[in-house]
Amino acid sequence: DIQMTQSPFSLSASVGDRVTITCRASQSISIYLNWYQQKPGKAPKLLIYSASILQTGVPSRFSGSGSGTDFTLTISNLQPEDFATYFCQQSYSTPRAFGQGTKVEIK
């Protein structure tokens, strides 16, 4: 089974900052990596699929990159509504696996 490891576990940032979250797979998953945003008490929301493709309606300040085992999610110009927890997920094989999440908090 493929394991996903995210870092950092949490981070503090200010509005307007650029934030980068990393996700590493235990084996190559090509570009089959998705990113989700979750706010307290809500279901996760798809942000990016295929490592770098923005889901419809997601602001362009979100971007994703990477392939193989190493991936990044970048949020440019952090906005108040971006404070949330972010999860990566591999869709290369089953069982699907999520990273443990990265909580982005207000500094």
Partner 1 sequence: QVQLQESGPGLVKPSETLSLTCSVSGGSINYNYCSWIRQPAGKGLEWIGRFSATGSSNYNPSLKTRVTMSVDTSKTQFSLKLNSVTAADTAVYFCAREIVVANDWYLDVWGRGTLVTVSS
Q: Binding residues for partner 1, per CB under 8 A?
A: 1, 31-32, 34, 36, 42-46, 49-50, 55, 87, 89, 91, 94-101
Residues contacting residue 11 through CB under 8 Å, at least 6 positions apart: 19, 21, 102, 103, 104, 105
- Residue placing its CB nearer to partner 1 in the complex, 13 or 46: 46
Question: Measured from the CB of residue 11, what is the shortest distance to partner 1 in angstroms?
Answer: 16
- Residue placing its CB nearer to partner 1 in the complex, 20 or 55: 55
Beta bridge partners of 23: 6, 71
Distance from C-alpha of 98 to C-alpha of 25, rounded to nearest angstrom: 10
- Residue placing its CB nearer to partner 1 in the complex, 19 or 49: 49
In contact, 38 and 19? CB cutoff 8 Å: no
Question: Measured from the CB of residue 94, what is the shortest distance to partner 1 in angstroms?
Answer: 4
Beta bridge partners of 72: 22, 65
- Residue placing its CB nearer to partner 1 in the complex, 82 or 89: 89
Question: Measured from the CB of residue 10, what is the shortest distance to partner 1 in angstroms?
Answer: 12
Question: Measured from the CB of residue 48, what is the shortest distance to partner 1 in angstroms?
Answer: 9
Q: Is 80 helix (H, G, I), strand (E, B) or coil?
A: helix
